[in-house]
Amino acid sequence: MKILQICSKPPFPKKDGYSLAVNHITDILIQRRNNLKVIAISTPKHASENIPKQYLKDTNFESIFIDTNLKILPAFLNLFSTSSYNTNRFYSNNFSNRIKEILNENSFDIILLEGLFLCPYFDIIKKRSDAKILLRAHNIESDIWKGLAKQSTNFFKKWYLNILQKKLFNYERKIVKKMDGIICISEKDSNWMKKQNLKEVINIPFGINAENKSILPLKKNTIFHIGSMDWNPNKEGIRWFVDNVFPIIKKKKADVILHLAGRSMPKSFYDIAAKNIVIDSEVENAKDYMRKHNLMIVPLSSGSGVRIKILEAMSLGKTIISTTIGASGIKYVNKKDILIADTELDFAKRIIWCFENPIESKIIGKNAKINIQENYSSLAISDKLDKFLNKIQTL
């Protein structure tokens, strides 16, 4: 099968959930001996770096730069338009022209759009190719912006975010109906897609294999968070935790240390660094970082899709404390393989309980690893994707 995979961010370096999710599908397509071509948008925040030679060979990879930075005048003028500024930022004539050239030179069976922000190119693709066009929905993007608007306390920011969210929602609901098929990463997102009267929707979670041996953390009195800090839900969630939850924990456990890691760490977070808060910023290897520390926190109050970092941590047998939204899309049982807390006091209580009950806390981590083994094996997911692509091709 000949497949064109189009990405809104570079697949390397594998530092965030998007790049990991894209690479997961790419690896499956290569292993299944598909003829694959990958093209990506590089941005001011996400440049193509450290691309492995074998990957270049297997995918004929290329990237084209688009300045996706927020621009005041276009953002203001968009208030008087029905289009979505969120998606408009990812459109450029250069990228459009390159897609046209690729489609003129090649015939594809499947064209896979890795995320909503590539949908502005749908009509261009449809006019020039008989390929089946699939959207891989990493999130329900309008849900994320709805959450950000809801939690904003600034009147004008809330007003503007609500406008962006409504336009994005209208665009998202309209464009998904044009697709030949939708691949979601979470059951919740696939249910949303099915409500749009879409028939060919499938939930294919991120595949990951649990590690064979348990590794004890080097630092037992630590809490850690790791995630891209250029993603607003992560920033807002950590601010909430630092301001409202961590002080409660410190009163009970004075020696606890909070470690914060992730690319694009805001300067304001460095300002709060102290004896109990360590800013590790971007780390070389996420799994090695997780192994070092004890409890993982995911204090999200907005978002959609699946937090792949949670799945990675579960595969290592880590104990995770998350909000309901943070764990959304993941198959779990609260208090068995993860701890769920949605209020400041509950979040603090769960963490304190883990420190005071290390054996029981460790059992939750072990159950998390079993969960990964039973529900997220790469082989089962590979078979599921292959069957879906073959089905779509014959429609």
Is residue 216, in this structure, part of any structural domain at all? no
Cis amide leading into 13 (omega within 30): yes
Is residue 210, in this structure, part of any structural domain at all? no
Is residue 215, in this structure, part of any structural domain at all? no
Quote the domain boundaries for residue 263. 222-375
Give the domain CATH number at 252. 3.40.50.2000
**What's the total number of domains in the chain?**
2
pLDDT at 11 > cutoff 70: yes
Is residue 162, in this structure, part of any structural domain at all? yes
Q: How far apart are CA 24 and CA 36, in angstroms?
A: 14
pLDDT of residue 215: 62
Do 116 and 200 lie in one domain? The reply is yes
Do 250 and 135 lie in one domain? The reply is no
Encode pLDDT of 242-287 as tens digits.
999 999 999 999 999 999 999 889 999 999 888 899 999 999 888 8
Do 198 and 280 lie in one domain? The reply is no
Do 253 and 297 lie in one domain? The reply is yes
State the pTM of this model: 0.76
> Pseudo-torsion of CA 271, 152, 194, 376, nearest 10°?
20
Report the DSSP pairing between strands 222-226 and 62-65. unpaired
Do 126 and 258 lie in one domain? The reply is no
**Mean pLDDT computed over 369-390:** 88
Do 387 and 362 lie in one domain? The reply is no
Is residue 306, in this structure, part of any structural domain at all? yes
Encode pLDDT of 56-115 as tens digits.
999 999 999 999 988 888 887 788 888 898 899 999 999 999 999 999 999 999 999 999
